[in-house]
Structure 1
Amino acid sequence: MSTPLLSAKGLRLAFGGVKAADGIDLDVMAGEFLAIIGPNGAGKTTFINMSTGYLRPQAGRIEFDGQPILGLQPRAIVRRGIGRSFQLPQLFTEHTVLENAALAVASRLGLWSPLAPLLRPAWREEAMDLLERFGLQGVAGSRADALNEGARKLADIAMAVALQPRLLLMDEPTSGVAAAEKMQIVETLVRVLRQSGVTAVFVEHDMDVVARFADRVAVWSQGRIAALGPPAQVLADPVVQRDVIGISAHA
């Protein structure tokens, strides 16, 4: 049996009387696209924050590629090979899309400082190649705050990919994106991530996106994993349909 790329065991974390993680056990296998679904407040983002060093569980352990990562700072976890994107895109809005991508490239190389030219030829070339892969070459010269939400999401994820992660954790990559754009946005990011060999975990509320693109689905409920398996199996579960999707058993 292959070793998980990310392994979480017995994670527990409470905020007052609210159990955000109540014994979470989850293995993420290399190469898969794992969707996390569940109602608001179920602990989905808490899991991402624990896995990326923004929160520390009160109990349990997390390993990446067989090595413990609990206690490491977010930057150290990024250097280990775990990237993330946020529900609200984290872009430098006063800079162009190309400058944002070049900054991510320079950050990965550990060479950039405020006194260094941002668009060095090598950085610019790699950044433009990255934007082309995400279909963003046409807005490379636009300020980030001029983009629509779909392009902002892709640019944010492109910056994460510039760091060359092995695992990317995405918190609601289609949140705020127009319904007509969602499938195209997800098709683009899935294509790029698979071509790059990046394993992905993504929190998602659109069940059409989950059904189409996830290899497995984990259902969060009150800080626990209530169901885990292939999309067709999990999304057909009457409890999941009632509590997560909102379909009545008598509908």
Structure 2
Amino acid sequence: MTALLAARGLRLAFGGVKAADGVDLDVRAGEHLAIIGPNGAGKTTFINMVTGYLKPQAGEIAFEGRPILGLSPRRIVRLGIARSFQLPQLFTEHTVLQNAALAVASRGTFWSAIRPLLDGAHVAEASELLGRFGLSDLAGRRADALNEGARKLADIAMALALKPRLLLMDEPTSGVAASEKMAIVETLVRVLREAGVTAVFVEHDMDVVARFADRVAVWNQGRISALGPPATILEDPAVQRDVIGIRVREGADAAA
């Protein structure tokens, strides 16, 4: 089966730091793939390369079989790839509904005084989208008045307004209160599955990864050191030591 997204031999260094050191990865249509790894391992760099914000020094990236390296971020969005950021990218002085309507309107190619940016069709679609995310009650609230969990959902709703087939998310639960985290991810996963959107997400909370990922890719020093289902990857002693931070008692069981 042809991968929805295929990366081959990606290499990118910043001085002596290798952010991507021969990365090969296929993203399957319909899956939710988690990317985990220590800080500085190259996780966000991969997202930036796929979405056109960084260009690798070597390698190839194809989306639905089409090469996309060298294309602008805007062009890549038009092809069906969207992203959300670790820090939500909202127009803080506008309401949640206005933010969503602006995202809906941005899919168009012609704006004029004849068709205002926030016309009825844009607002109606934005309202329906916010309802799917459980944000209807917050539609009239300014974005800067939201808590972090709602800001994250609103940011991802704006990305989904672009009608992508692939959504890349950089730490969608960072800064979210622990009591809210699982409910927010449950909402997110439900909406993405209902929309048939494939997702790749960078995540540091292993409970979120174990519960919601179909596969896990482990990044370490610019390379993918392990790839597989959560039940296998999260029990790997090297992953527990290098990523999760569990101290493995080498030889302890043998000595017992």
Query: Is TM more than 0.5 here?
Result: yes
TM (norm. structure 1) is: 0.97
Any unmatched runs of 5+ in structure 1?
Answer: none
Supply the AA of the counterpart residue of 1:121.
Answer: G
Measured after TM superposition, the shift of residue 248 of structure 1 is 1.0
- In the TM superposition, residue 120 of structure 1 has moved relative to its aligned partner by 1.3
Contact (CA 8 Å) 1:103, 1:112: kept in 2 or not? no
SS in 2 for 1:181: helix
Equivalent position of 1:136 in the other structure:
135
Distance 1:52 1:114, change over 3 A: farther
Rounded to whole Å, the distance in 2 between the matches of 1:113 and 1:242 is 56
Instruction: Report the counterpart of residue 23 of structure 1 in structure 2.
Output: 22
Is residue 229 from structure 1 mapped to residue 231 from structure 2 by the alignment? no
CA distance in 1, matches of 2:113, 2:45: 33
Tell me the residue number matched to 1:75: 74
Alpha-carbon separation, structure 1, partners of 2:54 and 2:163:
23
Judging changes above 3 Å, is the alpha-carbon distance between structure 1 residues 70 and 131 closer, same or farther for their aligned structure 2 residues? Answer: same
Match of 2:13 in 1: 14
Q: How many residues align?
A: 250
Select the structure of larger CA radius of gyration. Answer: 2
Alignment deviations for residues 166-200 of structure 1 (CA, whole Å, 9 cap, x no partner): 00000000000000000001000100000000000
Greater shift in the superposed pair: 34-43 or 114-123: 114-123
Distance in 1 of aligned mates of 2:179 and 2:243: 23
Distance 1:141 1:111, change over 3 A: farther
1:170 matched to which residue of 2?
A: 169
Q: In the alignment, what sits opposite 1:63?
A: 62
Q: Would the aligned equivalents of 1:99 and 1:118 in 2 still touch at CA under 8 Å?
A: no
2:101 corresponds in structure 1 to 102
2: distance between equivalents of 1:249 and 1:41?
A: 22
Query: Structure 2 length normalisation: TM-score?
Result: 0.96
Partner of 1:51: 50
Q: Structure 2: any 5+ residue segments left out of the alignment?
A: none
Q: Give me the whole-angstrom Cα distance separating, in 1, the residues matched to 2:134 and 2:167.
A: 19
The alpha-carbon deviation at position 115 of structure 1 amounts to 9.2
Paired with 2:113 and 2:131, the residues of 1 have a C-alpha distance of 26
* Structure 1 residue 152 corresponds to structure 2 residue 151: yes
Distance across 2 between alignment mates of 1:54 and 1:116: 31
Matches within 5 A, 1:105-124: 105-112=104-111, 117-124=116-123
Distance apart, 1:121 and its partner CA:
1.1
Residue-by-residue CA offset, 1:120-176 (whole Å, 9 max, x unaligned) = 111111000000000000000000000000000000000000000000000000000
Which residue in the other structure is 2:179 paired with? 180
Q: Is the CA contact 2:105–2:118 (under 8 Å) kept in the aligned structure 1?
A: no
